[in-house]
Amino acid sequence: MNDLLEIKDLTIHYVTDGGTVRAVENLNLRLGHGETLGFVGETGAGKTTTALGIMRLIPSPPGVVKSGRIIFDGEDLLTKSEAEMRAIRGGKIAMIFQDPMTSLNPVMTVDKQIAEMIRLHRDVDKAESLKLAGDMLELVGIKRERMHDYPHQFSGGMKQRVVIAIALACDPGLLIADEPTTALDVTIQAQVLELMKKLKQQFGASMILITHDLGIVADICDKVAIMYAGRVVEYADKRALYANPTHPYTIGLFNSVPDLDEDRESLNVIPGLMPDPMDLPAGCAFHPRCAYATSVCSESKPEMMEAAPGHFVACPIRGRERK
Amino acid sequence: MTGYIRVENLKKFFPTKRGLLHAVDDVSFAVQKGETLGLVGESGCGKSTLGRCLIRLLDATSGNVILHDEETGEDIDITKASKSVIKHLRKKVQIVFQDPYSCLNPRLSVWELIAEPLIVNGVFPDKNAMKRRVRELMNTVGLAERLENSYPHELDGGRRQRIGIARSLALNPEFIVLDEPVSALDVCIQAQILNLLNDLQREFHYTYVFISHNLSVVRHVSDRIAVMYLGKIVELSDYKDLFVKPSHPYTQALLSAIPTAKLDVKKERVILEGDVPSPIDPPSGCRFMGRCRHRAEICGKETPELREVSPGHFVSCHLSSP
């Protein structure tokens, strides 16, 4: 079966006066139909840049897509014209941004914002689009009476529901959600995640969920890609990854999260800091912080290897141990 | 009630155009010397306001915050103390703020930032002694000495938070309010800072009030935990009890809403309906009633008191059994 999305050797740089930021380096990724992929990493790992790359929304300058292919539904998005991309954005691929407070237009009622999306991609008249907008609001759990309200009249969780309604209005094949619940409180986050799970099934869409929270991934994803310094360092089925985290960075990430059921005197932290993306270490970008590092690690960039069927790791040492 | 810090019927109301905002509404608890009390709740529940009232960054509307000075054996009421007493207290009582990006003066270097509290309080007339103290503090919080001439914008969030911690430690305090100290940080850096706070407490026997919305973080650092909802403490207990036997329906929902990084953990998820209601002129009765699964008639009539349901475990719910 063909994948819905396949990213091959994607490299995105930001070229600035101070130097080149290697935001994404030789990234490879696949996403099947109906799958949810969790995209995990810390600030600056390149998660959002990858998402913007798929949407062809990298600000340029300074952003440059150096190389690679992004194959969506059999076609390379990087060769599309701007006009073609406009039909794809929102129509076939929709994105939910982190902060619902800033992604809505504050001077436009929410029904009009949803209708705008529908009218851009579907051949319907104004009255019909507004009716559909009301339907979408009901679908995300907002009463139809509130369709003429402005964003500031809604709470944070409700605003994110409106954003979800806009994203799903044209029944996209792929939904990219960039930290959709990070700005929300935990009980509201639970409501929104529950809603996203339900709607994803109802619409049969694939989803890329960008998050730094391994708990959210455990909750709603099928596959997980762990990103570090512009590269995917581990990619596997959720079960395989949680049962057997293999890359040293992934292990460190799991150890950094305080446990809810268990007492630990102190957390096992990864020593040091994320490297400067303008000045990445030679070889494996993680090696200066890695407990398993040997001389090989500073010499050559690790290739992705299959440590177990379907479980890919960019670490020659841990990858071989598992075999 | 005994303790190093005793909070008695503390209230903080803010007048607004639409009415009185009940940010902290009749809160009482005690903090023992050397312990960490976690304060959790969602945005707008009043936890930061409470934290600020504790050290008199805000004047309370009514109620008392009493600090027991062990040296003199005196009780000092922080909410009513005079300016000169407060200035003296600042050496004992400190705060670390949430956002390491906005709480540091961008025009001061690391050295100046850490020396500032020492200069303001005139504790080191001798410049060399002060220099040594600043170096020592940088060492304590894990900042390399070469950074002393750097400015905050050159540093990452974790290091900036270390500066904030060093500033609060500068005067050898006894009591530190930590207001979301790790919320703006990535998990790996968060873990480093949590370990640091833990080590410091073990070494210097600080008393912490740790404010956070993140329950797993609070569980990791706290001895006891207070859960706040709309200006009130709804549950207060030993950290283990709270997670094993959450008694207030809000605590139950809050705990079940945390996504855990584990598979195959079967838990019933209680999804709360609606949002937190407005804290402006809240209705009488239980504040949580509108979202509660178990609400009964009495909940709308009487405001529940914080009662002890088992030793050391306090709940403010009419329906929780003793």
Predicted pLDDT at B183: 83
Cβ-defined contact of B194 to A216 (cutoff 8 Å): no
Rounded CA-CA distance B41/B10 in Å is 17
- Nearest chain A CA: its distance from B82 CA (Å): 38
> Chain B residue closest to A218 (CA)?
B261
Helix (H, G, I), strand (E, B) or coil at A137: helix
Rounded CA-CA distance B207/B95 in Å is 12
Contact with chain A for residue B190, Cβ under 8 A? yes
The answer, yes or no, to whether residue A155 has pLDDT greater than 90, is no
Rounded CA-CA distance A62/A317 in Å is 36
Q: What is the residue-level pLDDT of chain B in tens, covering all 322 positions?
A: 688 999 999 999 999 998 899 999 999 999 999 999 999 998 889 999 999 999 999 999 999 999 998 888 889 999 999 999 888 888 899 999 888 778 899 999 999 999 999 998 888 888 899 999 999 999 888 888 888 899 998 888 888 999 999 999 999 899 999 999 888 788 888 898 899 999 999 999 999 999 998 888 999 999 999 999 999 999 999 999 999 999 999 999 998 888 887 777 666 778 887 778 888 888 788 999 888 888 888 998 889 999 999 999 999 999 876 5
The answer, yes or no, to whether residue A286 has pLDDT greater than 70, is yes
Rounded CA-CA distance A294/A271 in Å is 16
Confidence band of A296 (pLDDT split at 50, 70, 90) = confident
Confidence band of A188 (pLDDT split at 50, 70, 90) = confident
Determine contact, residues B307/B322, Cβ cutoff 8 Å: yes
Q: Compare CB distances from B43 to A185, A267, A274 and report the shortest one's residue.
A: A185
Cβ-defined contact of A273 to B156 (cutoff 8 Å): yes
Q: Where are the domains of chain B?
A: 5-92+173-315, 106-172
Sign of CA dihedral B114, B120, B126, B127: positive
Contact with chain A for residue B191, Cβ under 8 A? yes
The answer, yes or no, to whether residue A113 has pLDDT greater than 80, is yes
Total length of chain A: 323
Paired tokens of B113: 């930032």
Q: What mean pLDDT is predicted for residues A226-240?
A: 93
pLDDT in tens, A37-76: 999 988 888 888 999 999 999 988 888 999 999 999 989 9
- Nearest chain B CA: its distance from A63 CA (Å): 23
Tell me the helices (H) and strands (E) count for chain B, helix number first. 10, 12
Determine contact, residues B231/B24, Cβ cutoff 8 Å: yes
Selected residue of A158, A186, A220, A278 to mutate for chain B interface (largest B Cβ count, 10 A): A186
Instruction: Bin B12: left if φ > 0, else alpha if -120 < ψ < 50, else beta.
Output: beta
Which has the higher per-residue pLDDT, A1 or B61?
Answer: B61
The answer, yes or no, to whether residue A264 has pLDDT greater than 80, is no
- CA neighbor of A45 nearest in space, from A264, A225, A263, A188: A225
Cβ-defined contact of B156 to A255 (cutoff 8 Å): no
SS (H, E, C) A291-319: CCCCHHHHHCCCCCEEEECCEEECCHHHH
Cβ-defined contact of B216 to A43 (cutoff 8 Å): no
Residues of A within 8 A of B142 (CB-CB) are none
**What DSSP letter does each residue of B73-97 carry, written as one string?**
--EEETTT--HHHHHHHTTTEEEE-
Residues in contact with A59: Cβ distance below 8 Å, sequence separation at least 6, in sequence order: none
Rounded CA-CA distance B63/B76 in Å is 13
Which alpha helices (H) appear in A106-155, and where do they start and end? 110-121, 126-139
The answer, yes or no, to whether residue A148 has pLDDT greater than 90, is yes
- CA neighbor of A41 nearest in space, from A59, A57, A53, A23: A23
Cβ-defined contact of A257 to B257 (cutoff 8 Å): no
Burial B4-24 (b: 16+ CB within 10 A, else e): bbbbbebbbbeeeeeeebbbb
- CA neighbor of A170 nearest in space, from A236, A227, A92, A240: A92
Burial class (CB in 10 A: 0-12, 13-18, 19+), B25: buried
Predicted pLDDT at A303: 87
Confidence band of A323 (pLDDT split at 50, 70, 90) = low
Rounded CA-CA distance A52/A150 in Å is 27
Rounded CA-CA distance A176/A94 in Å is 6
Q: Where are the domains of chain A?
A: 31-55+80-322
Rounded CA-CA distance A247/A230 in Å is 15
Determine contact, residues B238/B313, Cβ cutoff 8 Å: yes
CATH code that applies to domain B5-92+173-315? 3.40.50.300
Q: What mean pLDDT is predicted for residues A158-174?
A: 91
Residue A92 burial (CB count, 10 A): 17
Cβ-defined contact of A260 to B198 (cutoff 8 Å): no
The CATH superfamily label for domain A31-55+80-322 reads P-loop containing nucleotide triphosphate hydrolases (3.40.50.300)
Confidence band of A276 (pLDDT split at 50, 70, 90) = confident
Cβ-defined contact of A266 to B187 (cutoff 8 Å): no
**Sheet architecture: strand order including B19-31:** B19-31, B5-16, B62-68, B75-77
Residues in contact with A323: Cβ distance below 8 Å, sequence separation at least 6, in sequence order: A307, A308
Cβ-defined contact of A189 to B253 (cutoff 8 Å): no
Residues in contact with B303: Cβ distance below 8 Å, sequence separation at least 6, in sequence order: B284, B285, B286
Rounded CA-CA distance A248/B185 in Å is 21
ipTM rounded to 2 decimals: 0.80
B239: number of CA atoms within 13 Å, CB side? Answer: 22
Predicted pLDDT at A183: 80
Cβ-defined contact of A270 to B216 (cutoff 8 Å): no
DSSP state of A261: S
Confidence band of A1 (pLDDT split at 50, 70, 90) = low
Residues of A within 8 A of B190 (CB-CB) are 256
Instruction: Bin A278: left if φ > 0, else alpha if -120 < ψ < 50, else beta.
Output: alpha
Residues in contact with A12: Cβ distance below 8 Å, sequence separation at least 6, in sequence order: A23, A24, A46, A49, A50, A53, A58, A63, A64, A65, A66
For tokens 């090989």, what's the residue?
Answer: A296
DSSP state of B278: P
Size of the A and B interface in Cβ pairs below 8 Å: 111
N-term to C-term CA, chain A: 27
Selected residue of B40, B147, B187 to mutate for chain A interface (largest A Cβ count, 10 A): B187
Q: What mean pLDDT is predicted for residues A136-144?
A: 91
Contact with chain B for residue A73, Cβ under 8 A? no
Rounded CA-CA distance A295/B188 in Å is 25
Contact with chain A for residue B43, Cβ under 8 A? yes
Residues of B within 8 A of A194 (CB-CB) are 269, 271
- CA neighbor of A249 nearest in space, from A223, A277, A275, A216: A275
Rounded CA-CA distance B102/B109 in Å is 14
- CA neighbor of A215 nearest in space, from B187, B184, B272, B251: B187
Paired tokens of A44: 């600056």
- Nearest chain A CA: its distance from B259 CA (Å): 4
Residue type, B148: E
